[in-house]
Structure 1
Amino acid sequence: MQETRRYKPATISRRLSVVIGFYRTAVIDGVLAASPADHVRRPHVPPESPTLGLSHLQFEAMLQAGRTSANINDFALVTMLGLLGLRIFEACGANIQDLREEHGHRVLKVHGKGDKVVLTPLPPVVQRATERAVDNRQEGPILRNRQAGRMDRHAATCRLHHLAHEAGINLPRMHPHMLRHTFVTTMLDAGVDLRDVQIAARHADPRTTMRYERARKNLDRHPNYIRAAYMASGT
């Protein structure tokens, strides 16, 4: 995984966790005398998220590009990732039948990791975007590709690349998780409590949310800005 496939440390660590848990269960059940994974060293995972989200202005530009796009799926894609914080497989897997009314709220039933199902309320802008993508259809996927089939991860990434170009955003690698990252960091910037952010992002472990918080602080509150402001005040 590390040398041949060039996977990131976090990906390798997650996969090793599954293997180690499997063998630990085999030992507990008496199938094996000892676990062969006991002494496997996991790669070091940085405490902060390696992904950087979009700035507020960049995200506004992406929303505007999606809103004015001729492709009716673009605006829904950007809002589902950036305003609902959906993972890309959750957004692409969402169906029209998952849209419903609950206690006066328009909600989307999200099928997340580990087959967990949650109801996510839709802000008005997301409602308008999804209604535009649904286009009076009664069933099927919310997001569709150019062949009218279900949009997949590859097609979604291509659409985001196109929208970033239209919005004048020059990034070396635009990918769907950047919008989910933006969803988390924007809430933190707005002063939302870390626990509430964890619930909104559906992170099982609060340490996952903390990785976004550390990455945000490392850049937005870097001492270089303080020093530059101090020097400017004296010149």
Structure 2
Amino acid sequence: MSTPERRTPPGLPSVADGSADFTEAWLANRRLSAHTRAAYRRDVQQFLGWCAGRDLDPLRASFLHVNAYARDLESTVDGRTGRVLAPASVARKLSALSSWYAFLVRLEAVAANPVGGADRPRVARDVSSTIGLSAAEVDAMLAAAERLDGPTAARDRAVLALLADLGLRVGEVVALDVGDLGAERGHRTVRFTGKGGKARRRALTPAVVRALDDFLAVRGDVPGPLFTTATGGRVDRHAVFRLVRRLARDAGVPAWERLSPHSLRHAFATTARDEGVPLEDVQDAMGHADPRTTRRYDRDRYNLDRDPAYTLAAARSRRSRS
């Protein structure tokens, strides 16, 4: 018996017609930050381009095609780093593609999700590939920012302060508007859209407040994007990448060429844990749904001195003396 042909649901264009596709409908159906939405769009478009190069209809792709695509990704050189894509990057691209296909399954445009049976790379949940920074190196970068001069100095200091003191994602920082700054119950605050489209709020440290106030004194408090370019456009994440590396270089950080804004987020978490901040508080601050994600940043988690067996033995000893 032949398999019935899957047809595009009424009101939606076909993937292959070139005029539009399901991607925007899929993205509109998800609560995502602008940065995540853009990344997912790129991930799906990359796969659609791969299919087009092989004259393959994406609606007829099988897990074998997805496997072949994944192997191609694993040998792809990242133009920014000059290295092949990390397993985590490949896994993220396939995760986005799986979500896209799951949407098509619900629309009955495809019979099954071909990514479900694919061979995805294994990614260790308790290991972060991000190049980290020590607390002293972050301090040195903040000091380098204080030495900046020129028309963007106040803006750049405020950007770095948000990354360093709050551990925000670069996409969260560049998406901020002036109206996102506020005050609640005696705290100066910032509201932003976190990963997964979640509305979040964080308290601002005194150093961040000073940096923002100095910047707003120059910028003015007119509505619109908080951080803008000389032409009035919103500062993008690539400009922040360049800023972080330039300040790391000026601060004498050895690995400055391999750093990213996420390195400061990594440093926020590791330093907080080093200073004894409870894991759940760090998890809440970073907006992690899974505590295992936060645990990756705890560099001292394998220290045998922290084995709970010692704590239990000490308690037993105290009880025996009482």
Q: TM-score range by the shorter chain?
A: 0.7 to 0.9
In structure 1, the residue matched to 2:120 is 42
Q: Runs of 4+ in structure 1 displaced over 6 angstroms?
A: none
Give me the whole-angstrom Cα distance separating, in 2, the residues matched to 1:33 and 1:78: 48
In structure 1, the residue matched to 2:37 is none
Q: Deviations over 1:189-226 (max 9, x none)?
A: 0111111111001112222112222xx138x959xxxx
Whose Rg is larger?
2
Q: What aligned pairs does 1:50-129 form with structure 2 within 5 A after superposition? A: 50-70=129-149, 71-129=153-211
Q: Post-superposition shift, 1:150?
A: 2.2
TM-score normalised by the chain length of structure 2: 0.62
Q: Post-superposition shift, 1:88?
A: 0.5
Give me the whole-angstrom Cα distance separating, in 1, the residues matched to 2:247 and 2:104: 49
Give me the whole-angstrom Cα distance separating, in 1, the residues matched to 2:227 and 2:100: 36
Q: Post-superposition shift, 1:33?
A: 4.1
Give me the whole-angstrom Cα distance separating, in 2, the residues matched to 1:148 and 1:22: 34
Higher RCO (Cα < 8 Å, 6 or more apart): 1
Give me the whole-angstrom Cα distance separating, in 2, the residues matched to 1:150 and 1:33: 42
Cα–Cα, structure 1 residues 80 and 175, in superposed 2: closer, same or farther, change >3 Å? Answer: same
Q: What aligned pairs does 1:186-205 form with structure 2 within 5 A after superposition? A: 186-205=271-290
Q: Is the 8 A contact 1:94 1:110 kept in 2?
A: yes
Which letter maps to 1:59? V
TM-score normalised by the chain length of structure 1: 0.83
Give me the whole-angstrom Cα distance separating, in 2, the residues matched to 1:120 and 1:192: 16
Q: Identity of counterpart residues, as a percentage? A: 39
Q: Deviations over 1:145-193 (max 9, x none)?
A: 3445322112112222221222222214121110011111111101111
Which letter maps to 1:156? V
Give me the whole-angstrom Cα distance separating, in 1, the residues matched to 2:157 and 2:103: 45
Q: Post-superposition shift, 1:23?
A: 3.9
Give me the whole-angstrom Cα distance separating, in 2, the residues matched to 1:182 and 1:114: 22
In structure 2, the residue matched to 1:149 is 233
In structure 2, the residue matched to 1:212 is 297
Q: Post-superposition shift, 1:60?
A: 0.8
In structure 2, the residue matched to 1:227 is none
Give me the whole-angstrom Cα distance separating, in 1, the residues matched to 2:91 and 2:129: 15
- Alignment coverage as a number of residue pairs: 219
User: Which runs of 5 or more residues in structure 2 are unaligned?
Assistant: 1-72, 78-83, 305-322
